[in-house]
Amino acid sequence: MERAKDSWGHSHEITEVCDILYIGNYKVAQEFIKNNLDKTQTMYSSLIMMSPKCAIEAFERGIKIDLLTEYWWDVSLYALQEFNKIDVKKTKEILLENVSQITERINSITALDFDKKYFLEFLKLI
């Protein structure tokens, strides 16, 4: 946990810590994310899917929400679905705030993305 406190700015390290916590006990991972919201600069899809309620709280605090985590369309789709289950109105607000990022990502889509099982499902949902 000490290492995690020191490296909160490095999202990949925190995501790995949260992944391990989530596998062991998802409630511990959710609590860890919640307790560290003040250190969070960006909520990525993997953290969102682990704790969508914290992600909505993060959005309300002005923390950036990133639903397009690299090429992990399954993670992005699941995060978006979890948002929708909790609060459809907030989900729309989050999507509207991320229009430029979504547009940029759609413009950079390659044929390989169409091979991804969850890519088209994600596009349908947005």
pLDDT of residue 111: 62
What pLDDT digit, counting tens, does each position of 19-36 carry?
888 888 889 989 999 998
What pLDDT digit, counting tens, does each position of 77-102 carry?
888 888 889 999 998 999 888 888 87
SS (H, E, C) 47-85: HHHHCHHHHHHHHHCCCEEECCCCCCHHHHHHHHHHHHH
How many domains does the chain contain in total?
Answer: 1
Residues forming beta bridges with residue 65, ordered by sequence position = 43
**Alpha-carbon gap, residue 61 to 64, rounded angstroms:** 9
**Domain range holding 96?**
2-125
pTM: 0.73
